[in-house]
Each structure stands twice: as structure tokens, then as C-alpha cells.
Amino acid sequence: MAATSEIADFTRHLGHYLRPAEVALVETAYSFSEAAHRGQFRRTGDPYITHPLAVASILSEWRLDAQGVCAALLHDVMEDTAVTKAEIELKFGKAVAALVDGLSKLDQIEFQSREEAQAENFRKMLLAMAKDIRVILIKLADRLHNMRTIDVMEPDQRQRIAQETIDIFAPIANRLGLNALYQELQDLAFRQLRPLRYRVLAKAIKAARGNRREVVGKMLDAIQARLRAAGIEAQVSGREKTVFSVHKKMLEKDLSFSQVFDIYGFRILVNDVTSCYAALGVLHGLYKPYPGKFKDYIAIPKANGYQSLHTTLFGPYGTPVEIQIRTQEMHRVAEAGVAAHWLYKDLPDDKDLAQAQQQTHHWLESLLEIQSESRDSSEFLEHVKGDLFPDEIYVFTPKGRIMALPRGATPVDFAYAVHTDIGHHCVAAKVNRDLAPLRSALRNGDQVEIVTSPSAKPNASWLSFVATGKARSRIRHYLKSLHQRESAQLGERMLQQALAALGASGLPDSGVHWDRLIKAYSVRTRQEVLADIGTGRRHAFVVAQALIAAGERQPAPNPGSSRTPISLDGVERVAIQYAKCCRPVPGDPIVGEFRVGQGMIVHLHDCPVLHKRGPEAGQILDVAWSKDVEGDFDAGIRLVVADQRGVLARVAGAIAEAEANIENVSMDRPEGETVVHMFFAIQVRDRRHLARVMRALRRITEVQKILRPKS
């Protein structure tokens, strides 16, 4: 049993902010948890109940409500004992049961790998957090106590848990504005991940603290005296950089420890916003400020609600010292973040806190939106990680609205942050009234305007540069839907071809046939079956036979019936690929190679690469170009030309005059020869257009040989 004095201190502290009836409920939860965990011990040798009690004590320091503290005491009973959610709900209510359920891992489900299990656990936890923020507050307190007592674990477990802490839990704490927790989690994780580095830096910081004590003391006295003289009531305290923050600065700035001067800083707390700026003026009069080192997070708060003035001054002997100036209310939000909702919920009209709550609410809503568009847990976790950047930039809409985005965000991220439709239809961007590439990184203070077009669509290449989870998930969802539609259209044509070969007149009109088939395949819609055919997950002839059998009519196959080729109209850019080895264009005789998971790849009928693979190639289908084929298609031309000045320009000019686009050029000059081998990747409309380009090239006197390579 946990030490009686610890329980007494815990309940005494609860009595400072909870009503007697609520304290009694917490005591009941403790007794219930202690009985459930009786006989269980931690690796430290302590009774297991000491862990939930420690977690509940951390939350009581944040003044979490009675339901949250009860859930903390019970957070492991469903996972480690025979207690069920129904029992917790019966004894403590639905809210406590829902919190405990949101915290429980998914041990009863079998996963393919530890990574998949971890991703699914995070998915469940973050979605529960989106419904009730107390879930993550309890989880963070749980992780903090586990990190404080992690030394008893095996080395590989310590490494894994520490990496998870620094990758996920510390950034979440930062995103929620829990600054003190964020820094402690980082330091605890760093101590496990880089133990030698941690010890060396901790020793160096301790030594530096002693060496700079005189300088720090002199500055503290000077700042307090100058503020008193100016009539500004303020609390001045020293603050030291954490070991991890020193390590991070050394890495980012490529500095040695001796070059990191601002290990020690000061925090100044004043009564109101006006006094913040007045104190800033006093300090800039006392010590010279570093140019470009001033940040006003009061006028433009961080996304997690953090507000403060930051400035770096030249202290005595030229030592740079960082100063933070904020009000008492801002300090509460900076230290407690969203937990301040419970700690100071009785305060009237706290605008700073309301803003932090609103921004957190928007982020939690975005988690639910990303979840609805993610294919699996790993993808969801990837998107969420993208939104946990500790550094942010602040940009403006044309109307002056401030938007916070992660560092590295682009105009596409901005467009999706404004609205999904704006993102889907953006074609260009103006940054500070000048046109800028969609992939350009935005900077602090940029004004961004998005140019849209109703016909524009998301581009798969955007995924290579977007920085926000929202943008990435929206783009992927759109492309997935587009792929699904095009695959279903291709699958329908393939199924019609298979039915014709089996002697059926076409796709059955009756829904009964499809209902039976859908039930047999355990899918939801006809579209899913057709899309599966289009992507190669189902064989068209097998589905055709099953569809005929579902209609209880079995026509004999008609060997004499010709298989109608699948018609290509050139707009299929997702479900159908055109082979890079032979680059077919409209007018060429073609075949379709059907590969599982890739869909159809179109080749020239005599493509040497396809024929060389032989049995390894996928199913070969009859395909033909539609009469109304449209679009530009990739083609290749190989030239042998005399090596003369300006020949490349003349060749490129001839291709351009023939109205073809040049996508790529490569050249090679064989040793000892006076000719150059050129390869042009170009875009043409059809075979006739390609022939016109080749005729134009033959008219150039330096061109000795021209051919169209087929591999």
C-alpha cells in the first residue's frame, strides 16, 4: 500500500480546490484502484498503486477536476486488471469511464507489427483527446511519472520510450501550452537517448552557473532598481536554459558550449500589457538590445496561446542575456496551457485564456477531420506529427487576419488552412503582392493571397512540399477518390469485355445480381468491386462468372465472339499508366499489361521490354485508342547529329515550331567521334503529330540519323 503520508498530503491538497463531496469521490476511486491493483508491483519494487497515485498528484498540482483525478487513479485498471468499463461507469459515471477507456491500450486486438499497434494506440488516444482534452492531460502526467522512474527498465525499452516521448508527447505538451512539462519531458528523454552528452552538458551548465553568478546578480539588482525608479511594479526572477535546449541550440547554430552565452536569462512579471511595453523601454535604456532579437508574442500570440515579449540584451562584459516580459495572466497560460481552464476557471472574462482554448479547440477539430480522411493509423499519426512543430510562423490574409503555420509551410498549406475548397482549386499565389511559386516557403509577416480557378485540381507533386497534416490529408483524400473513380471506370470496361467473352450481353441491369455479389465479396458497394478490378485486386473473368452465377443464368462461352478492346480516350491519368520504356502515343498499335496493385500499363504491341519479361508480365488485355482521344502524350526521339556550334538550338527550335513540348534532353558524345547522340523526351498529341516533328528535324542538315526508340 502507498505510504499513508503521501495519501494524506494528496487529499489535503485536493481539499484546497475541490468540494468535500468531490474529495470523497476521489478517495473512493483510490480505494477501488488500490483493491484492483493489490498484489501487483512496479519494477522499482513499489506497490503498483504508487504509480496512479503519483499521476493523480501531478494532475492535482494542475488543479484538474474530480472526474479527471478519478480517471487518473483508475487509468490502468481496465488494462491490467479484470475491471470492465461497465463497472467503472456504474460506480463513477459515464464521464470517468469514457476517460479511462480513452487511455486504455488496444491489447485485445492483434496487429501486424509494434509500429502498427503504437500508431493505433495514438490514434485512439488523440481522438479521445479531441472529445475531451482531459484524456491527454492524464496521459501526459502518466508519461511524466514513467519518465521520472524509467531507469529500472531495460536499455532498449528506455530508448524506445524516450524516443516516443521526444517525438510525440513533448510536442503535444508544447502544442497545448504546457511549457514546464514540455521542457521536463525533453530533458528526461534526452538523458536516456544521449546519456553521456547529457552528463557532460549538465556538468558544464552547473560550472557556468557558478562562474556567471556575479554577472547575473549585478544584472538582477540593476533591472530591479531601474524598474522601481520608473514606477513599474514587477517581479524579476532568473531562469536557466534546460540541458536539452542548450544541446538543441548548439546543433542548430553549430556552436561549442563556450559560444552559448545566453544560458541564463530573466523573466519579468508585471500587472498589465501597458507595463510590459513600458518595462521593455526601460530595459532597452539600461542595456543595448541585440538587433533582430526582439519578438512580440503579445500582439501576435503563438498557436498554443503563449504571449510574452522576448528581447536579448548586451549585459555586463558583453554577455548576451535573454529577457521575457509578460503579465501574471500570460504567465499562467504559459506554464499551464490548456490546463489553466481548470486551474483558473473561476476568473471572469480572461481573454488570453479564451484565445488559447479556442486555438486548441481548432487544432483538436482538425484531428477529427484528418482522421476521417486517413486510410490507416500510421497515415493518421504521420499527419499529426506534421502538425506538432515547435516553431511557427505567422502570416496574414489580404484582410489582415493572422494565421499560424509550421515553419516551412507553403502557399498550398495556407490555402488549405483557409478552406479545403480554396486548397483544391488554387493555381497561383501572391506573397506580399508578388507572384510566388506554390512550393516557396513562407516567412514571418508575409501577406498571402491565393488565386483560384474552378477547373484546377490538387496535384500529387504538392505532397512533396506541403508541411501541414491538414493539407497532406486533403490532397491524399482527393487523389484517393480520383483513383477510386478512374479505377472503377476502367474496371467496368474490363468487366464488360469479360462478360462479352463469356457470351453475356453486358452488365446486368438488375440490382439483385449485384446485391448477391456484394454480399458474397463482403464489400459495401458496386463501385468497390469495379475499383478492385481496375486496380488488379480482382480478376475480371472471375467476377464476370460470379455475376452470371448470381443471376442464375449460365450462357455457354462463345468462342467465335470477338473480345471488344478496352477503349482509351487519353483522360485516364491515374488508373492507367503509359509505359516509359516504349512511350506509346495515339495511333500506335497497343496492348495493356495488367499488374496487380498497379492497374493497367499501356505498351506498344511490339515493345521489346514487355516481350522480354514473358511469363513475368501481367495479364495482357486488348486495348485500343478512342476516336476522340485527347491530351498530350510522352514520346521519345533519338538523333545522331554532326557536332557543330548551335546545333542544339536549331534542333530545339524545330521541335518547338512543330508545336511539341520538350520535357527533357540528354546528350552523349562517343569518344573519338565527330557526332553527338541526342535524346529528346517530348510531348505530342498523336502519331501524326510525332511524324510531323520528325519531318521537321530531317530538314536540318546536321541531323544524320533520326529514330524513335522502343526501349
The H or E element spanning position 275 is helix 273-286
Q: Answer whether 163's CB lies under 8 Å from 172's CB.
A: no
Residue type, 97: A
Q: Answer whether 500's CB lies under 8 Å from 563's CB.
A: yes
Burial class (CB in 10 A: 0-12, 13-18, 19+), 681: middle
| CA torsion through residues 345, 346, 349, 352, sign | negative
CA distances from 108 to 79, 117, 381, 505 (A): 9, 11, 21, 50
Q: Which residues on adjacent β-strands are paired with residue 322?
A: 265, 312
Q: Which residues on adjacent β-strands are paired with residue 321?
A: 313
Those residues whose C-beta lies under 8 Å from the C-beta of residue 281, and which sit 6 or more positions away, are: none
Distance of CA 26 to the CA centre of its chain: 38
| Nearest-10 Cα torsion for 627, 632, 637, 643 | 140
Q: Which residues are catalytic, by number? A: 79-80
From the list 626, 624, 628, the residue with the least C-alpha distance to 589 is 624
Alpha carbons within 13 angstroms on the beta-carbon side of residue 416 total 27
What is the Cα–Cα distance from 246 to 207, expressed in whole angstroms?
A: 14
Q: Can you spell out the DSSP letters for 375-444?
A: SSHHHHHHHHHHT--S-EEEEE-TT--EEEEETT--HHHHHHHH-HHHHHTEEEEEETTEEE-TTPPP-T
DSSP 8-state code for residue 319: -
41 φ/ψ angles, rounded to the nearest 5 degrees: -135, 150
From the list 689, 687, 684, 680, the residue with the least C-alpha distance to 637 is 680
DSSP 8-state code for residue 457: -
From the list 390, 388, 365, 394, the residue with the least C-alpha distance to 301 is 394
Those residues whose C-beta lies under 8 Å from the C-beta of residue 698, and which sit 6 or more positions away, are: 706
What is the Cα–Cα distance from 339 to 549, expressed in whole angstroms?
A: 62
Q: Answer whether 697's CB lies under 8 Å from 654's CB.
A: yes
Instruction: Please give the grid coordinates belonging to residue 397.
Output: 490574409
